[in-house]
Each structure stands twice: as C-alpha cells, then as structure tokens.
Structure 1
Amino acid sequence: MTKPTLVFNPVAQEYFDNPYEIYRRMRDEAPIYYDEEQDFYALTRHADVAAAFKDHDGFSSARGCDLGMVRSGDVPQKSIIFMDPPDHRHMRSLLNKAFTPRAIQSQRDTVVELVEQYLSKADPDNFDVVQDFSGPFPVEVITRMAGVPEEFRQQVRHWIDTSLHRKPGQIEMDDENMQANIDSGMYYYGLVQERRKNPQDDMISRLIAAQIPGENGEMRQLDDIEITGFTTLLGGAGAETVTKLVGSAVVEFARHPEQWQKLLDDRSKIPAAVEELLRYVGPVQYNVRYSLKDVELPSGRIPANKPVFLMGAAANRDPRAFDDGETFDIDRDRTQAQNLGLGYGIHSCLGAALARMETAIALDHLLDFMPRFDVAFDRLERVNMQNVAGYHHVPVKVLN
C-alpha cells in the first residue's frame, strides 16, 4: 500500500487534531518541506530548526510570525516579536528588566494565591481544567503585572482566544480576528494614555518612563503605539502559554499515569516534568520567519525571500536529537539537545521563567487537588489556532 502524499497544511482540521503524526512524516520524508501551492518552506528536524532560530541574519522576524502576516509583510503593530537587531536588542534589554529573577520571584505569592483561589471554587465531580483553572489564572498574573484593572483581566483572555482562532482552511485573518485585535489594541492604548497622566507601580508606567537608543544614537522614550504593542503581546503570550501547557499536562498525565505517580512520590521532580511537558506538548507549535538570503542548513538549502516555518514542536520530538523522542518521560536526560519549547536565540520567550514557575505551582496544587483523576477523553476539545496547540476543554472527574 502506498503512503498518502505528504501534505502539511497549517490550517487543516487534521493538523489541528493531531500535528505530531504529520511532523513525524515531515522529519523522515521531507525535512526541508516545500509547499508549491502556498510557496512556503517548513523545517522539522531539530538541527535545522535550532540553527534557523539562531540565525537572525538569514531569517527575519520583521514581517511577522504567521504565514498570512509574513506573506503580506503587513505587520499589525510595533512589537518586539516583529523586530530584528538592532531594534530588537534595544527593546529586549529594556524589557528584560521586567523579568529579572527577582521580579519573577516577587510574583510567586500572587501565583499561589490565584491557583488556590481558582481550585477552591472547582467542582471535583465536574472539573474543566482549562475553563475553570488554567484559562483564568495565568492571565490574571500577567495583566496584574502590566497594570490592567481587575474587571478587564479576563476580557484580555477572550480577545486573545478570538484573535488566534482559525477556521479550517483559514490562513489570513478574518473580521472576527481583526476586531479582537482592534478591541484589545484600543483598550491598551487607552490604558497607556491613562498611565501617562497617572503613573502607578506597574509595567506600563515603567515602560512610559524608560528610554532606549533612537536611530541617531540619542536616548528616546517609547511612544504609545510601541507600549501598546508590547503590552498586547505580553497579555497574549503570558496567558496562552501556561493555559495550554497545564491543560495538555493533565491530558498527558492521564495517558501516562505512571508519570503522575512519580510526581506524587517525589515533588522535587516537578521542574523536570515542566521541561518534559514543554518538549513533548509545548503550546507553541511554530514560528514563521522570512528568509533574507539563501541559507544552508544541515538538511539542505532554503532560498531567499520565502516564508519559512520553524517547527519547534516537531523538532522537540526528533529522535535524532532525543532518545525515544516520541516518548513522554519526565526523567529523561535533558542534556541531549536544546529544548525549543519556549523558543531559542534572540526571540526566546521573555517570560519563560514566569511560565515555568506558574506551571510548576499549578502542578504542585493539582497533585493535592486530584491525586487520582479520570479525563473524559471523548469530551476533550482541541483549539484551532495559528501557532498554538492545546485544549479548550479538558473535563476531569476527581477520584476518591
């Protein structure tokens, strides 16, 4: 029997339902995949993806991070993820100050408080891990840091979900996606202007006060559009990553109860479990770059002026990089290869330490809340999103 033709379509329903089977075939059969119809390339082997992430001279972020954006070159706002050096370097050094180890640790009590608050309201007989828990708490953490008033924090999450949603076959943004982006952008823009008049102890106020080198070398302040772009991104990344990771974690632990038992027996393994989850079911599936020149990679050549998918989630299961890469094992040797779950190179996730801390605290409390549990696999509901994979609903029954 001949194999079906290998087709990678980033907005096909079968891709949304199970990207990992397609990744396995791409790594084996077409490590440098080319789609003639849509005129893009896709990289899936670890050596190629890691090299491309590191090569910001060859692969530009300035045209956006998804296929529709990169193809049109129409970047919606000034944002650090849509920048190349030197602009990226100046902005990154400024924003790093918001995510120092001390700044992250200062959020620990807030995270614990929110995790306990949401779990205390959960119904053990009818617990939706995402809707009742991993959806609401991370966005509270990040928007509180930014300076969003309490009554708007959950609204931020709904804007993000709507803006990232893609119907099967939909590459370009539709009216609903655009409206969600406009609504969130207008909201943050208004908040930035409010903070200019009335500064507070929050990230928006600190960005207003900060300075970066301008084009002529003189120091300048960020304008309202730049601050709006960053806070919009921060809300999205800060909410989506942990929301999807914790939901996927519960599904994988239900499929691998022996791994959950390891955590019940030894909580010191939680950080290793977070790393393995980021490798095995990391929420960020890919980033799209634009090739500025012909680039030689370990598996072959990418020509200039093409959209290129850097498939981090595929690379993270590459058996050429990780022994038994398709196996979920929290005790695996993590020195074998770079975990690409939160990016790599200059665009690695700014809030990676915060995401790791939130996920670890969530797992620790879930071990207490549901040491034994069943997932209703027939009622799992995956998200259909660009760049991001995970679940919209993870129904759980806690067992006695």
Structure 2
Amino acid sequence: MTQAELVFDPFSQEYFNNPFDIYERMRAEAPLYYDTGEDFYALSRHEDVAAALKDHESFSSTRGCDLAMVKADEPPQKSIIFMDPPEHRHMRSLLNKAFTPRAVQSQRDVVIELADKYLAGADPENFDVVQDFSGPFPVEVITRMAGVPEEYRQQVRHWIDTSLSREPGQMGTSEAGMQANIETAMYYYGLVQERRENPQDDMISRLIAAEIPDDDGHMRRLDDIEICGFATLLGGAGAETVTKLMGTAAVNFARFPDQWRKLLDDRSKIPAAVEELLRYEGPVQYNVRYTLKDTEVPSGKIPAGKPVFLLLASANRDSAAFTDADAFDIDRDRTEAQNLGLGYGIHSCLGAALARMESALALEKLLDFMPRYEVQWDGLRRVQMQNVAGYSHVPVKVLR
C-alpha cells in the first residue's frame, strides 16, 4: 500500500488531533519541508530547530510568531517576543528582574494557596483537571503579579483562549479573537493609566517607572503600547503554559500508570516529571520565524524572506536526540539533548522558572487529591489553537 503524500497543514483537524504522526514523517522524509501553496518552510529535527532558535541574525522574530502574522503587511503589536537584538536585549534585561529566583520563590505560597482553594471546591466524583483546576489557578498567579484586580483575572484567561482559538482551515485570528484582542488591549491600557496615577507594588507599576536605552543610547521610559504588549504576553504565557501542561499530565499519566506510581512512591521525582512532560507533549508546538538572509541549517538551505516553522514539539520527539524518544519516561537521561519545551536561545521562556515551580506544586497537589484516578476518555476535548496544544476538558473520576 502506498503511503499518502506528506502534507504538513498546521491548521487541519488531523494536525489538531495528533501532530506527532505528521512530525515523525517529516523528520524522516522531509526534515526541510517546503509548502508551495503558502510559501513557507518547516524544520522538524532537533539539530535544525535548535540551530535556528540560536541564530537570531538569520531567523528574525520581528514579524511575529505565527504564519498569519509573518505574512501580514503590518508588523505585530510591540512585544518582547516580536523583537530582535539589541532592542530585545534591553527589554529582556529589564523584564528579567521580575523573574529572579527570589521573585519566583516569593510566589510559592500564593501558588499553594490558589491550588488548595480550587481543589477544596472540587468534586472527586466529577472532576475536570483543566476546568476545575489547571485552567483557573495559573492565570490568577501571573495576573496578580502583573497588578490585575481579582475580578478581572479569569476574564483575562477567556480573552486569551478566544484569541488563540482556530477553526480547521483558519490561518488568522477569527472575528471573535480580534474582538478579544481589542478588549484585552483596552483593559490593559486603562489599567496602565490607573497605575500611572496611583502606582502599586506590581509589575505594571515597575514597568511604568523603568527606563531602557533607545537606539542612540539615551535612556527612555516605556510607552503605553509597550507596557500593554508585555502585560498581554505575560497573561497569555501564564495562562496557557501550566494550564495545558497539567491537562496533558493527567492524560499521559493515565496512559502510562507505571510513571504515576513512580511519583506516588517518590515525590522527589516531580521536577524530573515536569521536564519529561515538557519534552513529551509540551504546550508550545512551534514558533514561526522569518529569514532575513539566505541561511543554512544542518538539513539544507533556506532562502531569504521566508516564514519558517520551528517545530519544537517535533524536535523533542527526535530519536536522533533522545533515546526512545516516543517513550514517556520521567527517569530518562536529561543530559542527552536540550529540552526545547520552553524554548531555547534568546527567546527562551521568560517565566520558565515560575512555570516549572507552578507545575511541580500542581503535580504534588494532584498526587494528594487523586492518587488513583481514571480519565473519562469520551469526555476528553483537545484545544484547537494557534501553536498551543493541550486539552480544554480532562474529566476524571477519583478512585477510592
């Protein structure tokens, strides 16, 4: 039987349902994939993706991080993820102050308090890991750090989910998604004005007071658009990463119960389990870059002026980089290759330490709440989103 032609369509139902079969074929048959219809390239092997993530002089972020953005005539909203050096370096050094080890550690009690709050109200007989737990609590942590009042914190999550959602075949943002983006921007703009009038002990107030060098080396303040862009990004990353990771955690530990038993027997393995979850089925599927010049990766040459998908999730399943790459093993050797689950290079996830801490604490709480559980497989619902993978619904029954 002849195999179907290899087509990588990141907007198809097949891709939303299971991208890993497509990735496997791409790594084997077309590691430097080219789509003639949409005129983009895609890299799927670990060595290619890691090389491109490190080469910001060839692979630019300034046009956006998904295909619709990169192909658009207008540049995206100002945000650190859409910057190249030196602008990126100045902004990153400023924002890093919000995520120092001390700053992250100071959030530990907040994370525990919020996780306990949502699990205390959950019904073990009718529990949805995402809807009742991993959806609501991470966004509370990050928006509280930013300075969003309590009554708007969950609204931020719903705006983000709407803006990232895609119907099969839909490359760009939907009308509902555009409206969500407008409402998010308007909300943060109003909050920035409030903080300019009345500064608080929060991230938005600190960004208002901060200074960075301009193109001529003179110090300047951030404008409202820059601050709103960062607040939006922060809310999005904070709401999506841990939310999706804990949903897939419940699914994969149900599929591989021996790995869950390892955690029940030895809680010290939790940090390693978080790393394996990020590698095996992390929340970020890809980033799109734009080639500024003719460039070369180990699998071949890419001309200037092209969108390029860097398939992080595929790279993390590359058997050339990881032994038994398709096995879910929390005890695997972490030194074999770079885990790309939270990015790599200058655009590696700014809040990675916070995401790891939240995920580890969330896993600990789930081990207590549902040491034995069954996923209700017929109620499982995958998200259909721009470059984000995971589940919107993971119903489980806690076994006594």
Which range, TM-score by smaller chain? over 0.9
Aligned match of 1:110: 110
CA distance in 1 between counterparts of 2:71 and 2:223 reads 27
Aligned match of 1:55: 55
| Counterpart contact for 1:79–1:226, Cα < 8 Å | yes
Aligned match of 2:187: 187
Aligned match of 1:302: 302
Aligned match of 2:81: 81
Aligned match of 2:267: 267
Deviation at 1:75, TM superposition (A): 3.2
Deviation at 1:125, TM superposition (A): 0.5
CA distance in 2 between counterparts of 1:281 and 1:113 reads 27
Deviation at 1:303, TM superposition (A): 1.1
- TM-score, length of structure 1 as denominator length: 0.99
Q: Does 1:162 align with 2:192?
A: no
Aligned match of 1:237: 237
| Aligned AA (1:220) | R
2:397 counterpart SS class: strand
CA distance in 2 between counterparts of 1:285 and 1:395 reads 23
Deviation at 1:168, TM superposition (A): 0.3
| Counterpart contact for 1:63–1:73, Cα < 8 Å | no
CA distance in 1 between counterparts of 2:224 and 2:37 reads 40
CA distance in 2 between counterparts of 1:57 and 1:73 reads 21
CA distance in 2 between counterparts of 1:38 and 1:296 reads 21
* Per-residue CA distance 1:46-82 (angstroms, 9 max, x = gap): 0000000000000000000000000114333110000
Aligned match of 2:330: 330
| Counterpart contact for 2:163–2:174, Cα < 8 Å | no
| Counterpart contact for 1:64–1:73, Cα < 8 Å | no
| Aligned AA (1:358) | E
Unmatched tracts of structure 2, length 5 or more: none
* Per-residue CA distance 1:190-240 (angstroms, 9 max, x = gap): 000100000000000000000000122110000111000000000000110
1:336 counterpart SS class: coil
| Counterpart contact for 2:373–2:396, Cα < 8 Å | yes
Aligned match of 1:29: 29
CA distance in 1 between counterparts of 2:223 and 2:47 reads 39
* Per-residue CA distance 1:118-175 (angstroms, 9 max, x = gap): 0111100110100000000000000000000000000000000000000000002221
| Counterpart contact for 2:273–2:330, Cα < 8 Å | yes
CA distance in 1 between counterparts of 2:190 and 2:243 reads 26
- TM-score, length of structure 2 as denominator length: 0.99
CA distance in 1 between counterparts of 2:77 and 2:194 reads 20
Aligned match of 2:135: 135
CA distance in 1 between counterparts of 2:59 and 2:319 reads 25
CA distance in 1 between counterparts of 2:351 and 2:20 reads 26
Deviation at 1:297, TM superposition (A): 0.8
Aligned-CA RMSD value: 0.6
CA distance in 2 between counterparts of 1:303 and 1:73 reads 20
Q: Does 1:153 align with 2:173?
A: no
CA distance in 2 between counterparts of 1:366 and 1:288 reads 34
Aligned match of 1:176: 176
| Counterpart contact for 1:273–1:330, Cα < 8 Å | yes
* Per-residue CA distance 1:227-258 (angstroms, 9 max, x = gap): 00000000000110000000000000000000
CA distance in 2 between counterparts of 1:252 and 1:325 reads 15
Percent of counterpart pairs with the same letter?
A: 76
CA distance in 2 between counterparts of 1:73 and 1:118 reads 44
Aligned match of 2:312: 312
Q: Does 1:356 align with 2:356?
A: yes
Deviation at 1:383, TM superposition (A): 0.2
How many residues align? The count is: 400
1:53 counterpart SS class: helix
2:182 counterpart SS class: helix
Unmatched tracts of structure 1, length 5 or more: none
